[in-house]
Structure 1
């Protein structure tokens, strides 16, 4: 009887997670949009260094500074060689809140190794137009001949740790095999060392860096300081993209549990639910192909406080989700569909304006329409 109650609860949760969405036409978008940069390649990650500059990564292996005073781009030197094939390349960039005190900027990239590549966490400092003191903090055990599912996003908590995500590298069994890093979210100290309170420290069969596992390809990761919650979004196969709340040591199911289907048949991947494996807080069927993820805490869009924003690659829009106090999704809106561009990266400035980077090589700025 307990198992049947769990099944009924899980089915009810999926109904809530697949709530209907509303698309916003250009006429009723609640913001003013301006294109501030073009011809940048795939803008995979971006962060505001200060009120005047955005640091962004180009998947092909370059990084640049966008000056918001004149919208001019300066390309940086000092980057390593990257494995820029298919989904691999120079990936995320993140700057911790106390950047001014130490100057470290953090990156993930696919590091080449003969014909394979490994998702790698690194850091460097910015001196004028050069990245200096480049350090590979963790070259993960995630080699694969398949050039897909590298992840990888970075998030910082408020206790000196960072999290970063790695996909299963196209080899599904990796996500349940804790002897490698693939299909996991990792937690490190900012110098690359392993925190003593990581969930599997001391277990000889599990990598010490692993914080959670059972992930397919996490492309969005965000730590909300207001609630001390770590949010994640990942690609499902054909259907079944997931938003998850990440908890210490938990198994998120892939490929044993999935809401998606095989690419070349109508067959379900695994099962939809299994006791002991974490349920997503929202699924997308059909897939939107998610990218970056933020939880909005800015002032520019006061009505969006606490909403999750993610980019969509396949369905080409900015996705906004509102949850109730029980973390059930109760409203979804879709914006920027008229751009017809794959939304890859997101950033927010100190006033709450939102920056959107696309695979078409553009960066847009969204501000409150009522202020213009």
Structure 2
């Protein structure tokens, strides 16, 4: 494996030249669907035991609480127990009392809805009871010149008011796929956003381009003074980390004081990454995957100055979300584990964690409900799954017996 976590170990000009030379020798990336469950060329030995869990090993039931959602993308919980759900065409829906409210929230920003783009993630401000503020990520512009934005807004009854665009990616670029879009509050209370490379892999190593990056801002849109590249004229100051392909999951509430991301690889090479300030995660200089036509993107899986993934999936599952479990509904040995939604893999992945390492992978509900776009843990400890389709559903995982899962109130 490669270097320890840290900043890029050689000058930016050298990295840019190296990537440019690599790309000149690499066929153009096929415009395929994000994620593939086909096995890429070459060999790969799983790092840990991977178990496909049968129904008899999963003593829970799925309760459908909503359906006929149109291409939903994300869920978030309000302090009063209601759930907010984004639909990519540009609607913000409400689940109340396990029922989908017919009326959507008004005042949602106009979004660019096509292909994988549209209204994406949603975050509820930790101080929502005082300020009623939420944050949305969404695509904006045209097919030829699209950006990703973060908007801040106040939920006033059934409408969003006091809307402000607090971040917009640059440059505007062609392409509406492989966009990233996940929002998270870090352990430092800053606001983070993942941005994909939009099938333009050279963007990920360009530090004057937001593509293929994770950015960090304050909730008012200002730039934290301790961002890793503040003060440099050759780097956009919002950039926190780079060398990403398409990060689709992001969490900073694990309890370990760290920021974690899930990233989709090409044909093979989905990654779990521990994200640190100023670090380069290597795409496309290093990868465990090949292109969709089986051509080689890089012969390297590790390189000096680039951070190795904590965990890798080969073949790809098209990982789409990431949460840590700290509720009281599931068995006690679930606490502290990571849960990952899978699109191509059509399963719920449980990563057994020990001191920041993956020690076992378990896959549940394989081919039971389809593509899982988002996974959330509610304040009461129940796990919710959001599927991905033109008529999608939301499911809650419920225990069958008190012997396997004890429902307790969460302080």
Give SS of 1:164's match: strand
**Which residue number corresponds to residue 296 of structure 1?**
325
SS for the counterpart of 1:203 is coil
Q: TM-score, normalised by structure 2?
A: 0.84
Aligned residues: CA RMSD: 2.0
Q: Check if 1:319 corresponds to 2:349.
A: yes
Return the alpha-carbon distance in structure 2 between the equivalents of residues 268 and 80 of structure 1: 38
Of 10, 29, 34 in structure 1, the residue corresponding to residue 58 of structure 2 is 29
Residues of 2 paired with 1:71 and 1:332: CA distance? 33
In structure 2, the residue matched to 1:309 is 339
Partner of 2:300: 271
- Residues 1:204 and 2:233 are matched in the alignment: yes
Aligned residues: 361
The 5 A counterparts of 1:38-53 are 38-53=67-82
The DSSP-based 3-state class of the residue aligned with 1:39 is strand
Q: Does 1:75 align with 2:75?
A: no
Where do 5+ consecutive residues of structure 1 fail to align?
A: 8-13
Matching residue of 2:21? none
Q: Distance in 2 between matches of 1:77 and 1:15?
A: 49
Of 90, 96, 121, the residue aligned with 2:125 is 96
Mapped partners of 2:99, 2:176: distance in 1: 37
* Alpha-carbon displacement from aligned partner over 1:249-283 (angstroms, at most 9, x marks no partner): 00000000111001112425351110110000000
Equivalences for residues 42-191 of structure 1 within 5 A? 42-68=71-97, 70-113=99-142, 115-191=144-220
| Structure-2 separation of matches of 1:270 and 1:215 | 17
* Structure 2 unaligned regions, length at least 5: 4-42, 406-411
Deviation at 1:205, TM superposition (A): 0.5
Q: 1:341 aligns with which of 362, 365, 370?
A: 370
Q: Is the 8 A contact 1:166 1:217 kept in 2?
A: yes
CA distance in 1, matches of 2:224, 2:309: 26
Cα distance in 2, alignment partners of residues 270 and 200 from structure 1: 29
Pair 1:19 & 2:48 matched: yes
Is the 8 Å Cα contact of residues 66 and 98 (structure 2) preserved in structure 1? no
The change in CA–CA distance for 1:72 and 1:202 in structure 2 (over 3 A counts) is same
> In the alignment, is the contact (CA less than 8 A) between 1:152 and 1:164 conserved in 2?
yes
SS in 2 for 1:83: coil
Partners of 1:6 and 1:246 lie apart in 2 by 15
Distance 2:200 2:261 in 1: 20
Deviations 1:163-190 (A, max 9, x none): 1110012111110001011110001011
Deviations 1:221-257 (A, max 9, x none): 0002511110100110000000000001000000001
Looking at structure 1, the residues matched to 191 and 45 of structure 2 have their Cα atoms a distance apart, in angstroms, of 31
The superposition leaves residues 50-73 of structure 1 with CA deviations (integer Å, 9 ceiling, x where unpaired) of 343100101121110111254544
- More deviation in 69-78 or 279-288? 69-78
Tell me the CA shift for residue 19 of structure 1.
2.4
Larger RCO (CA under 8 A, 6+ residues apart): 2
Match of 2:394 among 359, 363, 369: 363
Structure 1 runs, 4 residues or longer, greater than 3 Å off: 14-18, 69-74
Post-superposition offset of 1:133: 1.4
